[in-house]
Amino acid sequence: MKTTMLKILTASLICFSGVTFTHAADTSKAEMQKQIRVCAKKQQGEWVSYNHNGVTFNGTCQPNENGKLQFKAPAP
């Protein structure tokens, strides 16, 4: 009985961790799209700010690996 419950618990944890990683990737992609949108009509190096999940981010528009302008936070 203990081994059966342990196997069920382990399988459940593995399944839930996979769901968590999948959800985190979607959130990151959504945030990246928002960072690109905020720089849509800006020039490189221009200061911008945007809100994501109730937090305000300040930074500049810099080209990303695809050549599109994307929000980049200043170095601390």
Residue 57 makes CB contacts below 8 A (sequence gap 6+) with: 49, 50, 51, 71, 73
**Quick count: other Cβ atoms within 10 Å of Cβ 71?**
24
Tens of pLDDT, residue by residue over 30-53, are 888 999 999 999 999 999 998 888
- Predicted structure pTM score: 0.59
Q: In what order do the strands lie in the sheet with 69-72?
A: 47-52, 55-63, 69-72
Length of the chain: 76
More confident residue, 36 or 3: 36
Q: Residue 20 above 60 pLDDT?
A: no
